[in-house]
Structure 1
Amino acid sequence: MKTHDLKKLAAILSESDQYRVTEKYQKPEFYNTDDASNKLIGVFLDIEATGLSHSNDKLIELGMVKFEYTEDGPIFRLLDEFSGYQDPNIPIPEYITKLTGITDEAVRSRQISEVEVAEYLQNVDLIIAHNAQFDRAFFEMTFPSVPAKAWGCSMYDVNWSVEDISSHKLEYIAYKYGFFYEGHRAVIDCLAGIHILAQSLLNSQELVLKQLLTNALAVRFKLYATNSPYESKDLLKARGYRWSMNQNYKYRAWSIELTEDKVAEEINYLRSNVYGGSSVNIRVEIFDAYSRFSNNGQHDPLKYRDKLDRFQTLCLG
């Protein structure tokens, strides 16, 4: 059946509420053609690895795709791609091969040049990944000398649930936007991710990339409710706290990540509902897009000294 016949059939099916038609991803020539003078360069990055632990598993594939964008959210042209295999020097688990199609033979003796990765990223303003916590950890472990860049996350920096998208999986989000692709290969995952960033959110109609930029570039406070009473754990969990470890000082506590405008309200909540006193003795990490999602301890304690001082004042009541 010819392409135009398939399109006619798809249009007929789409008119009925009994069917939902999705199209196979096709790489566009461009998204917008406006000749904006203030264009920035972004990169969507995706990593395939032998498992989920950056300390025990190894990167086996790196894909990156550059694109032009402006601060108000439009995406313009897709630029050059970067793709490479890395030999992990351990057998690739069978389930990873089934998931990605990457075999031991495909990666044998292959190495990704750290110098070439650094050169590729030299003029890049922002790296975006879908689950940046995973990708940045493997990236930094594999390429430790590459200069730090600002990072954003298309999973956590977009409020998908408010847009009636219940799953954060990239393939499911693509389905909600009416297209599908062959997932779990690095470059095609990047292209699909950029395609989603170029769309408008389903309910708010804000550009996806615009919301991501707003959230990714905000200064964030991670509050650790240290020494909180055991009986407060359900309250904290219901409020969005997670039991986690501080990577710099190696202690565990209930923690929550907030933008600066919500910190004072949260301290008042802890004072009234958890600690029951006039002062609140909790710890905080302050970070931005350069240090967020990093496991390298790149938090600069002096960079936000004024914000830290204000935080301490709020805690004292």
Structure 2
Amino acid sequence: MVFWLCADPSKRQPSRPCLTLLTQTTQTMTQDFEQLAQQLEQHPDYRVLRRLTPTPMFNTPVPGQRLSKGVVLDTETTGFDAQNDRVIELGMLVFEFDPISGMVYRVLDVFDELEDPGFPIPPATTAVHHITDEMVQGQRIDDARVASLMQGVEVVIAHNAAFDRPFVEARWPLFEQLNWACSIKDIDWREEGFGSAKLEYLLSTQGYFYEAHRAEADCWALLALLSHILPQSQRTALLALLETLNQAQQKVYAVGSPFETKDMLKARNYRWSAELRCWSRLVSGDQELQEELSWLKRKVYGERSARVEVESLGGKVRYSSRQGHKEVVTI
């Protein structure tokens, strides 16, 4: 409990002695709560979550150390359709990292702006991110500032890049020329022992919570997560993600697969495209591609000769709505 010890109770602002006492009392309470949290952590029946506090400095580089520049990015939109819906908030953190170790060093710039989509925001989406028509009225994201921040960036990272990238590219075509990575798809969270790839859940396993579903807050949460060491591979989450940029990635289309093999394909993480009327799956590297083609020939096409399509996806194409280079392969 905090008491206001002021000579004139009618005053809304406390005097300097009151401010000093209030500050000291708040600090004491914080220390007391932290001690309680530490005591709870020692008991196997309790887990403690602390509020994530954004910090611009994760590690201090040594003089002359070569660092790369990356961006973690998040959008809030009017809906899920990149062709008809619009970005109404763009959040980005520009940060430095070591491309060899995957260690995060410091945040160089913070960006978070709102934009008026030109039509009412659906109530269902406002209920998620709490962005209202009044908040975005007359607002426009600074295009020149966005372009400036992207100078020298080697990778753009989003948690579910397949959602954010099409929206961002539709609004700012310059993002088509950048390498993208996805912190959901490019890290094998299940292999690392996690039951879900949701950002809130993953961060909670590291002992933190945050106010989700606003762009800047989600960016801070993602960068904090990328700086943590994965329990099985014992490397930073960022390094696990960066290694996928150096791997050839292909999408295999099981053209003309028999109907009765659909459950088998689904169990192997193939996804159905109603537009293409075809099952497809992403693979990484030539070895995994050859193993997948062999599996298709044995399990799906019953050792019969078949023609499938293979689409090559580099960092500048994957997770976008644009197509990579396609070729027909006979198996």
Normalised to the residue count of structure 1, the TM-score between the two structures is: 0.90
Q: Does 1:3 pair with 2:30?
A: yes
Q: Does 1:110 pair with 2:139?
A: yes
- After TM superposition, the structure 1 = structure 2 runs for residues 164-183 of structure 1, keeping only pairs within 5 Å, are 164-183=193-212
Query: CA separation in 2, counterparts of 1:48 and 1:194?
Result: 18
- Deviation at residue 166 of structure 1 after TM alignment: 1.2
Query: CA separation in 2, counterparts of 1:131 and 1:145?
Result: 19
Q: Assess, with a 3 A threshold, how the Cα gap between structure 1 residues 2 and 11 changes in structure 2: closer, same or farther.
A: same
Greater mean deviation of Cα atoms: 167-176 or 189-198: 167-176
Alpha-carbon displacement from aligned partner over 1:77-130 (angstroms, at most 9, x marks no partner)? 111011111111121122322221211011011111333212211111100000
Query: CA separation in 2, counterparts of 1:20 and 1:227?
Result: 51
Which of 310, 315, 329 is equivalent to 1:284?
A: 310
Paired position in structure 2 for 1:30: 57
Contact 1:221 1:284 in 2 (8 A): yes
- Deviation at residue 244 of structure 1 after TM alignment: 2.1
Q: Assess, with a 3 A threshold, how the Cα gap between structure 1 residues 153 and 146 changes in structure 2: closer, same or farther.
A: closer
Q: Assess, with a 3 A threshold, how the Cα gap between structure 1 residues 154 and 88 changes in structure 2: closer, same or farther.
A: same
Greater mean deviation of Cα atoms: 49-58 or 272-281: 272-281
* Paired letter, 1:257: L
Query: CA separation in 1, counterparts of 2:39 and 2:76?
Result: 39
Aligned length: 301
Q: Does 1:70 pair with 2:70?
A: no
Contact 1:114 1:146 in 2 (8 A): no
Contact 1:225 1:254 in 2 (8 A): yes
Q: Assess, with a 3 A threshold, how the Cα gap between structure 1 residues 131 and 276 changes in structure 2: closer, same or farther.
A: same
Q: Does 1:163 pair with 2:163?
A: no
* Paired letter, 1:283: E
* Paired letter, 2:302: G
Query: CA separation in 1, counterparts of 2:118 and 2:246?
Result: 37
Q: Assess, with a 3 A threshold, how the Cα gap between structure 1 residues 274 and 217 changes in structure 2: closer, same or farther.
A: same
* Cα RMSD, aligned residues only: 1.8
Paired position in structure 1 for 2:16: none
Paired position in structure 1 for 2:44: 17
Query: CA separation in 2, counterparts of 1:113 and 1:24?
Result: 30
- Deviation at residue 5 of structure 1 after TM alignment: 1.2
Query: CA separation in 2, counterparts of 1:264 and 1:291?
Result: 22
The structure number with the bigger radius of gyration is 2
Paired position in structure 2 for 1:266: 292
Identical amino acids, percent of aligned pairs? 39
Contact 1:198 1:207 in 2 (8 A): yes
Query: CA separation in 1, counterparts of 2:239 and 2:249?
Result: 18
Contact 1:118 1:146 in 2 (8 A): no
* Paired letter, 2:149: Y
The runs of 4+ residues in structure 1 deviating greater than 4 Å are: none
Query: CA separation in 1, counterparts of 2:56 and 2:290?
Result: 47
Contact 2:192 2:230 in 1 (8 A): yes
* Paired letter, 1:171: E
**What's the secondary structure of 1:234's corresponding residue?**
helix
Q: Assess, with a 3 A threshold, how the Cα gap between structure 1 residues 98 and 278 changes in structure 2: closer, same or farther.
A: closer
Q: Does 1:254 pair with 2:283?
A: no
Which of 45, 52, 57 is equivalent to 2:80?
A: 52
Q: Does 1:295 pair with 2:304?
A: no
Query: CA separation in 1, counterparts of 2:126 and 2:292?
Result: 45
- Deviation at residue 7 of structure 1 after TM alignment: 1.2
Query: CA separation in 1, counterparts of 2:149 and 2:77?
Result: 21
Gaps of 5+ in 2: 1-27
**What's the secondary structure of 2:307's corresponding residue?**
coil
Query: CA separation in 2, counterparts of 1:233 and 1:178?
Result: 40
Query: CA separation in 2, counterparts of 1:29 and 1:63?
Result: 15
Contact 2:176 2:316 in 1 (8 A): no
- After TM superposition, the structure 1 = structure 2 runs for residues 123-138 of structure 1, keeping only pairs within 5 Å, are 123-138=152-167
Alpha-carbon displacement from aligned partner over 1:265-289 (angstroms, at most 9, x marks no partner)? 1111111222234533001100111
Normalised to the residue count of structure 2, the TM-score between the two structures is: 0.86
**What's the secondary structure of 1:89's corresponding residue?**
coil
Greater mean deviation of Cα atoms: 56-65 or 155-164: 155-164
- Deviation at residue 146 of structure 1 after TM alignment: 4.6
* Paired letter, 2:55: P
Query: CA separation in 2, counterparts of 1:244 and 1:275?
Result: 19
- Deviation at residue 38 of structure 1 after TM alignment: 1.9
Paired position in structure 1 for 2:21: none
Contact 2:93 2:107 in 1 (8 A): yes
